[in-house]
Chains A and B, each alone.
Chain A
């Protein structure tokens, strides 16, 4: 089995690093494409032994499982480019936040009757094999395709199938989650430094505390509320600290954060479906390179100047 990545940025890099650490696939069976060969992630991938190319079509021809690891607004261009080259064996896995299976299928149906599409939402800790991944299965993907993807993603952390309508919530929780955690550790470390600890030690201890607590929770049958109680001796330091946190509305803050991320994901998806994206919003090099590829022509609704409509080939719609 060969795996390909359209896009060689943070996500592709993290996944490849995780897959190879897990030994689930050899790097020589991995191909990745990127228009920009100067990216640090590109050199990182090259060092790992991944085959690199500037041609998306080449990735397609050399892969069975094809990860779309580009930014959401690039997806439609990529699909238009590689559409004609998709074969029956291909399993397309989109990792783009807010991009629906139906929008991808709609594009690919122009080229193939039964494109096999899956959508996954993962997160950066796949790089250390502690990722959190969910996936949803498209109309024409088989049970085996799901199992295959699950096997791959389970090698780099937790992986489970969900209904597609939950993916935005997952984005808000575990997609953005590591950022919440990094912020928390940084702030905890600040607290430690304020109280006299050297910075590096403070960060180390803060991160280890979160790591340890998470592991305890995942290994335990107990409710996190109970585990919290277990740490809080009567009248002790911890309960005093927790009171401070409650007074600061800590819980509400976290709920708000997850909600905000989820809502924004939906907004971006809506924007992608409904609105025009100006060419300036897309890196010029990417657009040029895409347009230069053989087979990508004017017949696919790419218009410059008056804005580009992403998911339909008719004239640009008016903004609502």
Chain B
């Protein structure tokens, strides 16, 4: 990678922070080559600790960076892109992190030769255990994807896919994080019901989820296989699992991913039509 590559973040929220941390962790990009812009100083503190440059000017940022993450809330994307559009050249790589904002929309707001990618991270990027899926726009070449992938490798798991998968990724892994939190809370509630103090129950529930997740990721085994391995004949686990099956947990979980995905698609459609309207 070009050690002179300059990375910018428009927006200083959680996603920008998580990604910036991961980018810096790779060691390929020194903090002095990273710049963050935001309208107020409010979120700058933790970025300051990373040693990156800070500014309030988006146009200054785009002029002084090569690869720029657009990490503002979805409803602000249009404003930001219109603001920087005149400064975007074919040498820039623009990566949008905004949910529901399609590549078509992004490319529509930028000059015709712009290189655009769309990235969907998730919350655990904050602890470098994210699941990130990106999709290349019309002018983004495989090398641009490879560059992005190598920048993000320390944020977690990075995969490329067609844009159609991004909504699914949102449902599965973006919202999926919340589903896991719900499950962890319910585990703890069950323990509290059975007599364990709440704080301890929550701590153990969190560790259980973490440990199981790590085993699942590292073992390479199918989750059904791992589940079977925990189930001693006539033991506690199989009894508990039966209760879960009777509760229809599987179907509920499939429904959750499906519903979240459908909603992501709907939001994307709505945003597209609003943008089209606004441009008329």
B242, A226: Cβ atoms closer than 8 Å: no
A224, B224: Cβ atoms closer than 8 Å: yes
Interface size class of A (residues with CB under 8 A): 10 to 19
B223, A225: Cβ atoms closer than 8 Å: yes
A249, B246: Cβ atoms closer than 8 Å: yes
B224, A246: Cβ atoms closer than 8 Å: no
B246, A246: Cβ atoms closer than 8 Å: no
Determine which residue in B222, B223, B225, B227 has the highest number of CB atoms from chain A within 10 A of its CB, and name it.
B222
Would A243 and B251 be within 8 Å (CB), given that A249-B245, A255-B242, A255-B245 are in contact? yes
B224, A252: Cβ atoms closer than 8 Å: no
A246, B248: Cβ atoms closer than 8 Å: yes
Residues 232 to 289 of chain A near chain B (Cβ within 8 Å):
243, 246-249, 251-252, 255-256, 259
In the complex, what residues of A have CB within 8 A of residue B251's CB?
Answer: 243, 246-249
Tell me which of A224, A243, A252 contacts B246 (CB under 8 A): A252
Contact with A along B230-253 (1 / 0, CB 8 A): 000000000000100110101100
A57 to B61 Cα, complex, angstroms: 101
B225, A251: Cβ atoms closer than 8 Å: no
Q: Is A229 at the interface (CB under 8 A from chain B)?
A: yes
A24 to B225 Cα, complex, angstroms: 38
Tell me which of B228, B242, B258 contacts A252 (CB under 8 A): B242
Please classify the interface of chain B as helix (H, G, I), strand (E, B), loop, or mixed, using the class held by over half of its residues: helix
In the complex, what residues of B have CB within 8 A of residue A249's CB?
Answer: 245-246, 248, 251
In the complex, what residues of B have CB within 8 A of residue A226's CB?
Answer: 222, 224-225
A252 to B251 Cα, complex, angstroms: 12
Q: Is B254 at the interface (CB under 8 A from chain A)?
A: yes
In the complex, what residues of A have CB within 8 A of residue B245's CB?
Answer: 249, 251-252, 255
A246, B222: Cβ atoms closer than 8 Å: no
A223, B248: Cβ atoms closer than 8 Å: no
CB distance from A255 to the nearest CB of B (A): 5
In the complex, what residues of A have CB within 8 A of residue B224's CB?
Answer: 223-226, 228
When C-beta atoms are compared, the residue in chain B nearest to A259 turns out to be B242
B225, A223: Cβ atoms closer than 8 Å: yes
Determine which residue in A223, A247, A255 has the highest number of CB atoms from chain B within 10 A of its CB, and name it.
A223
A223 to B246 Cα, complex, angstroms: 22
Contact with A along B193-225 (1 / 0, CB 8 A): 000000000000000000000000000001111
CB distance from A265 to the nearest CB of B (A): 15
B250, A246: Cβ atoms closer than 8 Å: yes
In the complex, what residues of B have CB within 8 A of residue A259's CB?
Answer: 242
When C-beta atoms are compared, the residue in chain B nearest to A242 turns out to be B254
B228, A251: Cβ atoms closer than 8 Å: no
B222, A251: Cβ atoms closer than 8 Å: no
Determine which residue in A226, A228, A252 has the highest number of CB atoms from chain B within 10 A of its CB, and name it.
A252
In the complex, what residues of B have CB within 8 A of residue A246's CB?
Answer: 248, 250-251, 254
A259 to B227 Cα, complex, angstroms: 20
In the complex, what residues of B have CB within 8 A of residue A251's CB?
Answer: 245, 250
A255 to B241 Cα, complex, angstroms: 10
In the complex, what residues of A have CB within 8 A of residue B255's CB?
Answer: 247
CB distance from A160 to the nearest CB of B (A): 15
In the complex, what residues of B have CB within 8 A of residue A252's CB?
Answer: 242, 245-246, 248
When C-beta atoms are compared, the residue in chain B nearest to A255 turns out to be B242
A223 to B227 Cα, complex, angstroms: 11
When C-beta atoms are compared, the residue in chain A nearest to B229 turns out to be A223
B246, A225: Cβ atoms closer than 8 Å: no
A229 to B223 Cα, complex, angstroms: 11
When C-beta atoms are compared, the residue in chain A nearest to B245 turns out to be A252
In the complex, what residues of A have CB within 8 A of residue B242's CB?
Answer: 252, 255, 259
A263 to B246 Cα, complex, angstroms: 18
In the complex, what residues of A have CB within 8 A of residue B254's CB?
Answer: 243, 246
CB distance from B173 to the nearest CB of A (A): 15
CB distance from A63 to the nearest CB of B (A): 36
In the complex, what residues of B have CB within 8 A of residue A222's CB?
Answer: 222
A256 to B228 Cα, complex, angstroms: 18
CB distance from A266 to the nearest CB of B (A): 13
A24 to B250 Cα, complex, angstroms: 47
Would A223 and B228 be within 8 Å (CB), given that A252-B242, A252-B245 are in contact? yes
A284 to B258 Cα, complex, angstroms: 62
When C-beta atoms are compared, the residue in chain B nearest to A244 turns out to be B251
A224 to B225 Cα, complex, angstroms: 8
CB distance from B213 to the nearest CB of A (A): 17
A247, B248: Cβ atoms closer than 8 Å: yes
When C-beta atoms are compared, the residue in chain B nearest to A251 turns out to be B245
In the complex, what residues of A have CB within 8 A of residue B246's CB?
Answer: 249, 252, 256
CB distance from B268 to the nearest CB of A (A): 17
CB distance from A74 to the nearest CB of B (A): 31
What residues make up the interface of B, taking CB atoms closer than 8 Å to A? Answer: 222-225, 227-228, 242, 245-246, 248, 250-251, 254-255, 258
Give the 7 A-B residue pairs with the shortest CB-CB distance, closest first.
Answer: A225-B224, A252-B245, A246-B251, A247-B251, A252-B246, A223-B225, A246-B250
Taking A247-B251, A251-B245, A255-B245 as given, write out 13 further A-B residue pairs in contact, using a Cβ cutoff of 8 Å, ordered by the A residue number: A222-B222, A223-B224, A223-B225, A225-B223, A225-B224, A225-B225, A228-B224, A246-B251, A247-B255, A249-B246, A249-B248, A251-B250, A252-B242
| A–B complex contacts, Cβ < 8 Å, 16 sampled | A222-B222, A223-B225, A225-B225, A226-B222, A226-B225, A243-B258, A246-B248, A246-B250, A247-B255, A249-B246, A249-B251, A251-B245, A252-B246, A252-B248, A255-B245, A256-B246
